[in-house]
Amino acid sequence: MSQTLLIIEDEPLLGQELVRHYNRAGWEVELAASLLDARKLLINKRLDPLIILSDMNLPDGNALDFMEDVKTALSHSEWLFLTSYGGVQDSVRALRLGAYEFLEKPCEMDRLDLVLASAHRSALAQRRLLEQAEQGHRKYSPEAYVGQSPKAQAIRNMLKKLTQIPLSAIIIGGETGTGKGLVARILHHGSQRGPNPLIELNCAALPRDLIESELFGHEAGAFTGAAGKHRGLLEQADGGTLFLDEIGEMPLSLQAKLLKALEDRKFRRLGSEREISVDVQILAASHRNLQEMASEGTFRSDLYHRLSVFRLELPPLREVMEDLDDLVPLFIAELNAKAGKQVSIINADIWAHLKAHDWPGNVRELRNVLERCVLFADGPSLPGQWLQLPSLKEAKNALESGTIDEGVFIPLDGSMDLDDMDRYIIETTLQKHRGNVTAAARALGTTRETLRYRVRKYGIKGTA
């Protein structure tokens, strides 16, 4: 990707000084002394600069009018304005049009270098998002959700419908590893928003303060360490989709701010008084039951109702075991290409073992198991010794002997209903952690509040 900088400046001495300075810094610099010259470069010669550094008032017009005229064709270029005559009205208009920064002359070169470097990073990020969108449109179609089971076919048919409907928000539910990320990419790339950015945020991976900054952005000096302006993910996703994975882990106080941004379609960066308008589709995913969390008060009910314009629940792999016939060969082919292997034979005993396992980690676990086998394969046959899956006999023996240390096994013979299983899992986990609710909640991937609610519901004793 060329590092092209277009400078629009009618003062010859300043223009040449900027050209020399940024040529030495490694930029491919083009200089235009008027808006007409700039138009010829951008439109006729199809120059596609990462950065446009422009004076505000040129001999043949105002650069803001020019920006508004050509910005559609240059939607992924960052604009910087440098002027001696700018006022508050011009600066407000420049930022409203999407300019990265508005600087007044004289501007120290160190300051200009800092702003231009920051704009450079932003422009590169926008270009990468565009390239990913183009690749994703080709790669992610509803057919990418593989499986011939009735449930898989129903999900695939629903995805085809959802990509044709301009929904503002969708909740994607399902256990960990069921393919919520894949479904989010299909929904984005198959819709009219496909050419625009898909921005992803895992709400469980970042601390609260960092999530807020990442989501809404910040101005320079908004907090300690905020050396420059940062465009948040909501702003980066404008016109496209924001995928909030594990949204159930988002703090309640931040949920309120997100709800307001979704309702108003505008928000403020941290440390800013200016509102930014956005048009964003929200895809929210969680392995937890958000409706249940809302009723318990651990997730805002108003945000839940705002997000649940449509709810799509993905089935666990154990409920669609027939889909192994499609998933296993698909993953092996993908892993063969990645590792340079030629695994093509799956013996009957291996198929039986794969279909006997209940796959608590779902499709993600399946892919990881197959990756290990393919990497250790010495020939065309999938090596069964690297499956490393517990057999049904081992699971039954472990259950009867009580020697399970890192798992909970429950019978699937109809002797326990769902509530009995739920209570048994909680009781067993609490016993292993000597009644410590915090440790048990961590092991179960939930919160203390949710676990305490269930402890009260089932009347379980002996918690600390």
Pairing verdict, β 57-58 and 61-62 = antiparallel
What does the pLDDT look like over 248-262, one tens digit per residue?
999 998 999 999 999
Which fold does the domain 408-458 belong to in CATH? Arc Repressor Mutant, subunit A (1.10.10)
CB atoms within 10 A of CB 133: 19
3-state SS class at 270: strand
* Residue 399 scores a pLDDT above 50: no
Name residue 421's amino acid: M
Sequence spans of domains, the chain: 4-123, 140-313, 317-386, 408-458
How far is residue 83's CA from residue 107's CA, in Å, rounded to a whole number?
Answer: 9
User: For residue 35, what pLDDT is reported?
Assistant: 93
* Residue 106 scores a pLDDT above 60: yes
Mean pLDDT of 63-78: 84
Domains 140-313 and 317-386 share a fold: no
Closest CA to 24 of 45, 42, 3: 3
Instruction: For domain 140-313, say whether CATH 3.40.50.1100 is its number.
Output: no
What does the pLDDT look like over 324-362, one tens digit per residue?
999 999 999 999 999 999 999 999 889 988 988 888 889
3-state SS class at 186: helix
CATH of 317-386, one of 1.10.8.60, 2.60.120.310, 3.40.640.10, 1.20.1250.20: 1.10.8.60
Closest CA to 315 of 455, 72, 151: 151
CA dihedral 422, 424, 428, 434 (to 10 degrees): 80
User: For residue 396, what pLDDT is reported?
Assistant: 46
Pick the residue with more confidence: 76 or 159?
159
Closest CA to 323 of 312, 334, 331: 331
CATH of 4-123, one of 3.90.180.10, 3.40.50.1820, 3.40.50.300, 3.40.50.2300: 3.40.50.2300
248 phi-psi bin (left φ>0, alpha ψ -120 to 50, beta other)? alpha
Residue with tokens 């340079």: 340
**Mean pLDDT score of the chain:** 86
What does the pLDDT look like over 151-173, one tens digit per residue?
999 999 999 999 999 999 999 99
Which region among 301-310, 401-410, 437-446 has the lowest average model confidence (pLDDT)? 401-410
This prediction has a pTM of 0.61
How far is residue 133's CA from residue 189's CA, in Å, rounded to a whole number?
Answer: 7
Q: Give backbone dihedrals phi and psi of 381, rounded to 5 degrees, phi first.
A: -95, 140
Instruction: Locate 224 and state its tokens.
Output: 């300690």
Mean pLDDT of 263-282: 90
Mean pLDDT of 20-27: 92
Mean pLDDT of 386-415: 58
User: For residue 135, what pLDDT is reported?
Assistant: 64
Q: How many CA atoms lie within 13 A of 382 on its CB side?
A: 25
